[in-house]
Amino acid sequence: MKPLAGNIRFKSQLFDFQLIRSLHHSGYGGPDFGECFAICSDVEDGDWESWNAAWYAVAERTRTKAEQFLTDGNRPSARRMFLRAFECYRQAGYALLANLRDPRLIPTTDRMQQCFRQSGELMDGRMQVLKFPYENTTLPGYFVRPDTSGRPRPTIIINCGYTVFCEESFLTGGLGALDRGWNVLVYDGPGQGSALVRQGLFFRHDWEKVITPIVDHALTLPGVDPKGLVVFGRSFNSILSARAVAFEPRIRAFMADPGECNKFRSVIHNFPRDAMTAFDKGDEAPLSRHLEGLMQQPDFSFSSRCRMQTHGTSNVLDYVKSLRPYEIESVLGQIKCPTAISCADHDDRGIEQPREMFEKLRCPKVYFPFTMEQGAGEHCQLGAPELTYQTFYDWLEGVLK
């Protein structure tokens, strides 16, 4: 089967991947399939300015409709329409993330978050906006409950990776968790969302310094069962959360989507062997030349510039070098809680590391392979949300009994 990205609407795999990202959310409050394609009909392939303009225009119109529904007293339609506007603003803002100094980024982020929070305000008191104490500052997040009874329930702590705001993390698994009667907690860690865009906090490899204060605060919230804390790490956060869980004994279960052991190895696995051999011997020139060549490719250049800024680096070679500490081989044996690991067979990070992580774990564990034949072979099974959440959450139901 052909991969989805590059075969749906755009020749650019990155543009198609971002389109699939919104299609992935369409059943969870985002724009409908048809609306996503209509928006992208105004986008010039490979042109991020046209991407920003098309999504922003629809976001503005959708927000206006949501406000009119609210004025008319139509709360259900207003709530849904605000969530659709949120997703459109999120996509408009994505086009700006390669330059955090872009003057449009903060205003777009403001509107995105305002729409998400207005939708949350219409959930009858079930959503709380949070600020988690973190070192000498705070981290933003949300806590959402299935109801306001205050009955102790399991709480799913969801966090994703690069270029994701915690509001989107709520769509990627949060609504499915609420359907099961679980609480949902999402947050922006250093290098993510508002913690990056507003506070200038960069990624760090020792994520236990992030998750421990999150757990501390979670245990003060109404209806949180202290014996039912679950971490769901997705994309880059799977490796971050895996390390955190190794040091955090209060976690009842962990889900890694996908499994990953070493971020540096994931990034370099397709680099020329001679360049990496020279690099290991202290000669950076061949790798630098290779990366400079890759930076001439628009998709690689845009995604790399987004990621460079999340690590506080100014060039792609320094970004690659900054990934050295992001490994969990040394701590996998410390994970004690039941753990689920996924692997999509067309993930651009390769399929070796999920299996490697699974084999090195010494805790109760399960391995979930996803395939292109299922329509679930892309990174994080993008385009197959129902299958993803059903698979992970059915397993989790059994663990939590």
Structural domain contains residue 19: yes
How many CB atoms within 10 Å of residue 183? 27
Distance set, CA 293 to CA 265, 280, 289, 307 (Å): 20, 20, 6, 17
> Does residue 81 share a domain with residue 181?
no
pLDDT of residue 172: 87
pLDDT given at position 27: 87
What is the β-pairing status of strands 137-144 and 183-187?
Answer: antiparallel
Residues 184 and 170: their CA atoms lie apart, in Å, by 8
pLDDT beneath 50: ranges in the chain: none
Whole-number Å distance between alpha carbons of 371 and 345:
5
Written as one letter, the residue type at 318 is: D
Q: What is the pTM of this model?
A: 0.96
| Per-residue b or e along 260-281, where b marks 16 or more CB atoms closer than 10 Å to that residue's CB | bbbbebbbbeebeeebeeebee
Assigned domain for 205 exists:
yes
- Is residue 253 classed as helix, strand or coil in its secondary structure? strand
In a domain, 235, yes or no: yes
Estimate to the nearest angstrom the gap between the alpha carbon of 139 and the chain centroid. Answer: 16
Q: Are residues 225 and 170 in the same domain?
A: yes
- Do 341 and 317 belong together in one domain? no
Domain boundary among 105, 122, 139: 122
Rounded to whole angstroms, what are the CA distances from 6 to 2, 16, 144, 235, 391?
Answer: 9, 6, 36, 20, 27
Termini Cα distance of the chain:
39
54: containing domain: 1-122
CATH number at residue 248: 3.40.50.1820
Identify whether residues 143 and 290 lie together within a single domain.
no
* Phi, psi (deg, nearest 5) at residue 184: -130, 130
Contact 323, 267 (CB under 8 A): yes
Question: How many domains does one find in the chain?
Answer: 3
Same domain for 241 and 308?
Answer: no
303 and 258 belong to one structural domain = no
Res 383: pLDDT = 87
DSSP lists the bridge partners of residue 339 as 254, 365
**Residue 400 covered by a domain:** no
Residue bearing tokens 């892309």: 378
Strand partners, 367: 341
96 and 14 in a common domain: yes
**306 shares its domain with 344:** no
Residue 221 domain-assigned?
yes
The per-residue pLDDT for 276 is 96
Is residue 401 in some structural domain? no
Q: In the listed set 297, 322, 347, which residue is the last one of a domain according to the structure?
A: 322
Which of 278, 297, 322 is a domain's end point? 322
β partners of residue 366: 340
Residue 184's SS3 state is: strand
Contact call for residues 301 and 330 (beta carbons, < 8 A): no
Instruction: Compute the distance between CA of residue 107 and CA of residue 10 in angstroms, rounded to an integer.
Output: 28
Whole-angstrom CA distances from 358 to 323, 333, 366, 382 are 22, 11, 8, 22
Round to whole Å and give the CA distance between 336 and 317. Answer: 36
Q: Are 363 and 280 in contact (CB under 8 A)?
A: no
- Annotate 76-127 with DSSP letters as a single string: HHHHHHHHHHHHHHHHHHHTTTT-TT-TTHHHHHHHHHHHHHHHHHTSTT-E
178 and 246 inside one domain: yes
Q: Is residue 244 situated within a structural domain?
A: yes
Do 246 and 372 reside in the same domain of the chain? yes
Do 132 and 115 belong to one domain? no
3-state secondary structure of 220: coil
- Is 148 part of a structural domain of the chain? yes
Residue 349 is predicted with a pLDDT of 77
Q: Are residues 233 and 139 in the same domain?
A: yes
CATH number of the domain at 113, please.
1.20.1440.110
